[in-house]
């Protein structure tokens, strides 16, 4: 579904990603973990072409995202992304946020897209907020609307960029529950997260990134119970300590 | 094609320079007075009693919402009626100070308001006095935000000072216009005049930039 | 005091006011069109065009308005057309050239105020460049620009008084004509100032109402508390 071939990315002389090779299969749920500033977000944003790479190729559903003549808008409409800061459109209501892209990009009929939006908002538990503006929502609610907005495009892949790191614990749980429901439905997902317990419970596979390189990858049990590298061990130790507090 | 005659300009350079000096004199003096007026108005608005606040707000609204030219004519024509005789250049400086002062007070107010009230609470909680809070906490943060708009108020004062030529002050614009009419050389004189104004305002903009960098807070991106 | 001067010349003054308003309307429309084009060009970063926009905007903004008015009326327009220019046309051309530079800057900073996150989100949903501009960037930018645009229009209304200096009989000039005859300057000037004040102050209060819309805040918002 997603393949990285020798991908490198540098930004202002800093190597954010160094020679990344990885393949993510259909219906796989991959968690990306690692210290802050290790290139996790960049990794994710390369997949839908929000961040252009310097070297290497990325294939999404057999289409080369890094090719010059690629129709990025088409790929992006197949790949949903949920941002750390939600990025809901502040001038549109919840309903309009969810229906804008289906109507304009997918050319869906307005009624159809509204019915779909109602289903999705019901799924994330926000049917009562359809006429509210993003500013009138709590962080957790906003993030769930953002998830519904992405799902409205019926994507083949969902990307999550630290979806809960701007939220307090209670709201985090709401959002994590929503993501778990999606996982059960067989969506292909790549999740960048700080929530170790969540990563462990949810992911089929965990990739540990540090300083732009993949240090270790494997099943979540393998990474969490039996990490091979010292860097991974150190990171997990401090990460779990934080979560206990 | 228009026959551009540089010799008329070269001949008139001393004449124009003399006007430029008057323009600069009026703008500098007015800007200084305007800054003082702005400070007083802000003080009235933030700490003054109710009637003082009302006076300050009325002043700012009336001045900002009427044309400078009318204010200038008013000072020039009506002050003598109440026995206050000022030379034209004095009227010009007075009008420009009053006008620019209202705008500067708004700049200062925005700067002070831009410093979050948490900062105020934090420094009061540390036991700093009101004055210390202003001097050590509010002012250093506000100045960074105030400098660029203050610079543009000074630039506006330079441009606005051109109106004093309508009350018979022989400033730069007056001389540009007179030269153009006398020699019937509009293009030459206006382009030269425009260039001189550009140099004056450009210099102020440059100085503002330099000055602003002096007050940059390390590690923070300037964003007003 | 001679307030009867105003009543006696009321129709004449109102005729002047009408010219002032007409001048303001035409200049606002013209400078909006040119200002939007220039602002978008400067925002576009298309090398030559955006360079041209920068040069235009920066030089116009550093020259006094009166220089444009007088030069256009006595120099440029007569030279281009070969005959004396009408007061009204000269004034309009000068105001449009002058104000469009300021409007262009407002447009550009409005466009720049749209957060990268919102543009990224729009891209990620597959909206193309034109759709992003139409449905996301422009609506957000326009609502944020409105207060600045209104205050620019207020400045323009005040600036129309400068058209009196080339002889256009708008509000200020009609007042002058009256007091040149009666020598009662104070009353007339106060009345004229009052008329300008009502228009400009009214407009600024109207735009203050607009400013309270919730989504106009350009600042990055931290998530609100858990209990909603």
Instruction: Enter the pTM of the model.
Output: 0.81
Distance in Å, alpha carbon of C73 to nearest chain B alpha carbon: 10
Q: How far is CA A49 from the centre of its chain?
A: 13
Distance in Å, alpha carbon of A121 to nearest chain C alpha carbon: 17
How would you list the strands of the sheet with A213-219, edge to edge? A79-82, A157-161, A188-192, A29-33, A205-210, A213-219
- In terms of Cβ atoms closer than 10 Å to its own Cβ (0-12, 13-18, 19+), residue C198 is exposed
Give the pLDDT of residue C224: 32
Q: In whole angstroms, what is the distance from residue C172 CA to residue C180 CA?
A: 12
Residue pair B215/B143 in contact (Cβ under 8 Å)? The answer is yes
Confidence check: pLDDT of A245 > 70: no
Quick check: do A and C touch, 3+ CB pairs under 8 A? yes
Beta strand spans in chain A (E): 2-11, 14-24, 29-33, 55-60, 63-64, 79-82, 157-161, 188-192, 205-210, 213-219
Per-residue pLDDT, averaged over B138-154, amounts to 88
Inter-chain Cβ pairs, chain B and chain C, closer than 8 A: 101
Confidence check: pLDDT of B188 > 80: yes
Residue whose entry in the numeric block shows the structure tokens 């802000």:
B42
Of residues C67, C161, C172, nearest to B173 (C-beta): C67
Q: In whole angstroms, what is the distance from residue B96 CA to residue A2 CA?
A: 67
DSSP chain B: -----HHHHHHHHHHHHHHHHHHHHHHHHHHHHHHHHHHHHHHHHHHS-HHHHHHHHHHHHHHHTS-HHHHHHHHHHHTGGGT----HHHHHHHHHHHHHHHHHHHHHHHHHHHS-HHHHHHHHHTT--HHHIIIIIIHHHHHHHHHHHHHHHHHHHHHHGGGGGGGT---HHHHHHHHHHHHT-HHHHHHHHHHHHHHHHHHHHHHHHHHHHHTPPTT-----
Confidence check: pLDDT of A236 > 70: yes
The per-residue pLDDT of chain C, averaged, comes to 88
State whether the Cα torsion A33-A39-A42-A47 is positive or negative: negative
**What's the complex ipTM?**
0.88
Regarding the domain delimited by C4-215, which CATH topology (the fold level of the hierarchy) does it fall under?
MetI-like fold (1.10.3720)
Residue pair A27/A186 in contact (Cβ under 8 Å)? The answer is yes
B68 contact residues in C (CB cutoff 8 A): 158
Per-residue pLDDT, averaged over B16-28, amounts to 96
Q: In whole angstroms, what is the distance from residue A117 CA to residue A110 CA?
A: 10
| Confidence bin at A243 (pLDDT 50/70/90) | low
In the three-class reduction of DSSP (H, G, I as helix; E, B as strand; rest coil), residue C87 is classed as helix
Q: In whole angstroms, what is the distance from residue B17 CA to residue A244 CA?
A: 76
Up-side HSE of residue C46: CA atoms within 13 Å toward CB?
Answer: 9
Residue pair C119/C137 in contact (Cβ under 8 Å)? The answer is yes
Class of domain B18-171: mainly alpha
In the three-class reduction of DSSP (H, G, I as helix; E, B as strand; rest coil), residue C36 is classed as helix
The residue of B155, B179, B186 whose CB has the most chain C CBs within 10 angstroms, and thus the best one to mutate to test that interface, is B186
> Hey, is the C-beta of C17 within 8 angstroms of any chain B C-beta?
no
User: Is C123's CB within 8 Å of A72's CB?
Assistant: yes
Residue pair A47/A4 in contact (Cβ under 8 Å)? The answer is no
The per-residue pLDDT of chain A, averaged, comes to 89
Of residues C117, C126, C214, nearest to A85 (C-beta): C117
> Hey, is the C-beta of C206 within 8 angstroms of any chain B C-beta?
no
| Confidence bin at B219 (pLDDT 50/70/90) | low
In the numeric block, which tokens belong to residue B175?
A: 């001389």
> Hey, is the C-beta of C64 within 8 angstroms of any chain B C-beta?
yes
Give the pLDDT of residue B1: 61
> Hey, is the C-beta of C226 within 8 angstroms of any chain A C-beta?
yes
Relative orientation angle of helices B6-47 and B172-183, to the nearest 10 degrees: 150
User: Is C126's CB within 8 Å of A139's CB?
Assistant: no
Distance in Å, alpha carbon of C109 to nearest chain A alpha carbon: 18
Give the pLDDT of residue B129: 78
Instruction: Identify the H or E element spanning A8.
Output: strand A2-11
Give the pLDDT of residue B223: 39
Per-residue pLDDT, averaged over B110-124, amounts to 80
Assign domain A26-236 to its CATH superfamily: P-loop containing nucleotide triphosphate hydrolases (3.40.50.300)
> Hey, is the C-beta of A175 within 8 angstroms of any chain C C-beta?
no
B74 contact residues in C (CB cutoff 8 A): 185-186, 189-190, 193
> Hey, is the C-beta of A72 within 8 angstroms of any chain C C-beta?
yes
User: Is B155's CB within 8 Å of C161's CB?
Assistant: no
In chain C, domain spans: 4-215
C161 contact residues in B (CB cutoff 8 A): 67, 69-70
Tell me the CA distances in angstroms from B47 to B15, B17, B50, B69, one per residue in order.
Answer: 48, 44, 9, 32
DSSP A153-200: T--SEEEEESTTTTS-HHHHHHHHHHHHHHHHTT-EEEEE-S-HHHHH
Q: In whole angstroms, what is the distance from residue B75 CA to residue A216 CA?
A: 80
Report the chain A residue with the minimal C-alpha distance to residue C213.
A91
Residue pair C67/B173 in contact (Cβ under 8 Å)? The answer is yes
> Hey, is the C-beta of C82 within 8 angstroms of any chain A C-beta?
no
> Hey, is the C-beta of C143 within 8 angstroms of any chain A C-beta?
yes
C128 contact residues in A (CB cutoff 8 A): 73, 105
Of residues A48, A78, A166, nearest to C223 (C-beta): A166
B156-166 b/e (C-beta count within 10 Å ≥ 16 → b): bbbbbbbbbbb
In chain B, domain spans: 18-171
User: Is B186's CB within 8 Å of C200's CB?
Assistant: no
Residue whose entry in the numeric block shows the structure tokens 């020598």:
C183
Of residues C117, C135, C228, nearest to A104 (C-beta): C135
Confidence check: pLDDT of C152 > 60: yes
A14-27 b/e (C-beta count within 10 Å ≥ 16 → b): eebbbebebebeee
Report the chain C residue with the minimal C-alpha distance to residue B155.
C62
Give the pLDDT of residue A127: 92
Q: In whole angstroms, what is the distance from residue C125 CA to residue C72 CA?
A: 50
Q: In whole angstroms, what is the distance from residue B152 CA to residue C116 CA?
A: 28
User: Is C124's CB within 8 Å of A91's CB?
Assistant: no
C126 contact residues in A (CB cutoff 8 A): 73-74, 76-78, 101, 105, 153
Report which of residues C33 and B125 the model is more confident about. C33
Report the chain A residue with the minimal C-alpha distance to residue C219.
A90
The residue of C125, C137, C142 whose CB has the most chain A CBs within 10 angstroms, and thus the best one to mutate to test that interface, is C125
Give the pLDDT of residue C219: 39
């Amino acid at each position: 579904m997603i393949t990285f071939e020798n991908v490198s990315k540098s930004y202002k002389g800093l190597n954010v990603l160094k020679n990344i090779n990885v393949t993510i299969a259909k219906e796989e749920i991959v968690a990306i973990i690692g210290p802050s500033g290790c290139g996790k977000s960049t990794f994710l944003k390369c997949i839908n072409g929000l961040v252009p790479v310097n070297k290497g190729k990325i294939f999404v559903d057999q289409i080369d995202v890094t090719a010059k003549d690629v129709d990025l808008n088409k790929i992006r409409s197949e790949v949903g992304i949920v941002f750390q800061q939600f990025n809901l459109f502040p001038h549109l209501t919840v309903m309009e946020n969810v229906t804008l892209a289906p109507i304009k990009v997918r050319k869906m009929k307005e009624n159809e897209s509204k019915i779909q939006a109602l289903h999705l908002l019901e799924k994330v538990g926000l049917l009562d907020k359809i006429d509210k503006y993003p500013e009138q929502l709590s962080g957790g609610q906003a993030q769930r609307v953002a998830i519904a907005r992405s799902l409205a495009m019926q994507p083949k892949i969902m990307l999550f960029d630290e979806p809960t790191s701007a939220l307090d614990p209670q709201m985090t749980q709401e959002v994590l529950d929503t993501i778990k429901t999606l996982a059960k439905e067989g969506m292909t997902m790549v999740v960048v997260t700080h929530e170790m317990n969540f990563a462990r419970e949810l992911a089929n596979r965990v990739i540990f990134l540090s300083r732009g390189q993949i240090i270790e990858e494997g099943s979540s049990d393998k990474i969490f119970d039996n990490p091979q590298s010292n860097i991974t061990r150190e990171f997990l130790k401090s990460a779990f300590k934080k979560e206990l507090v | 094609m228009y026959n551009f005659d540089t010799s008329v300009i070269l001949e008139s350079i001393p004449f124009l320079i003399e006007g430029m000096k008057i323009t600069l004199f009026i703008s500098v003096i007015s800007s200084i007075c305007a800054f003082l007026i702005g400070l007083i108005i802000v003080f009235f608005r933030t700490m003054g009693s109710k009637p003082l606040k009302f006076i300050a707000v009325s002043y700012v609204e009336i001045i900002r919402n009427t044309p400078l030219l009318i204010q200038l004519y008013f000072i020039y024509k009506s002050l003598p009626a109440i026995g206050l005789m000022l030379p034209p250049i004095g009227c010009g400086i007075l009008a420009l100070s009053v006008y620019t002062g209202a705008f500067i007070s708004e700049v200062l107010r925005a700067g002070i308001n831009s410093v979050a009230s948490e900062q105020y609470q934090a420094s009061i909680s540390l036991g700093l006095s009101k004055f210390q809070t202003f001097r050590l906490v509010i002012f250093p943060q506000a100045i960074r935000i105030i400098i660029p708009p203050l610079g543009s108020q000074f630039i506006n004062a330079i441009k606005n000072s051109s109106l004093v030529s309508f009350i018979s002050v022989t400033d730069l614009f007056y001389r540009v216009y007179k030269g153009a009419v006398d020699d019937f050389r509009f293009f030459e004189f206006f382009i030269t005049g425009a260039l001189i104004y550009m140099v004056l305002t450009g210099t102020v903009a440059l100085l503002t930039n330099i000055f602003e960098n002096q007050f940059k807070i390390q590690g923070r991106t300037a964003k007003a | 005091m001679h307030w009867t001067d105003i009543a006696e010349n009321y129709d004449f003054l109102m005729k002047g006011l009408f010219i002032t308003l007409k001048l303001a309307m035409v200049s606002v429309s013209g400078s909006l069109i040119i200002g939007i084009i220039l602002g978008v060009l400067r925002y576009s970063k298309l090398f030559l065009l955006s360079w041209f926009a920068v040069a235009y905007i920066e030089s116009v903004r550093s020259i006094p308005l009166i220089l444009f008015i007088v030069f256009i009326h006595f120099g440029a327009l007569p030279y281009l057309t070969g005959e004396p220019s009408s007061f009204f046309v000269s004034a309009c051309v000068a105001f449009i050239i002058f104000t469009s530079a300021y409007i262009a800057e407002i447009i550009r900073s409005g466009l720049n105020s749209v957060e990268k996150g919102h543009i990224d989100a729009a891209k990620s949903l597959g909206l193309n460049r034109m759709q992003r501009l139409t449905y996301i960037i422009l609506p957000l930018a326009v609502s944020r620009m409105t207060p600045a645009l209104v205050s620019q229009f207020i400045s323009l209304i005040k600036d129309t008084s400068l058209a009196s200096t080339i002889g256009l009989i708008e509000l200020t000039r009609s007042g002058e004509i009256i007091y040149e005859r009666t020598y009662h300057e104070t009353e007339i000037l106060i009345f004229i100032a009052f008329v300008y004040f009502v228009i400009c102050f009214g407009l600024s209060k109207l735009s203050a109402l607009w400013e309270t819309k919730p989504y106009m805040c350009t600042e990055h918002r931290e998530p609100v508390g858990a209990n909603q």
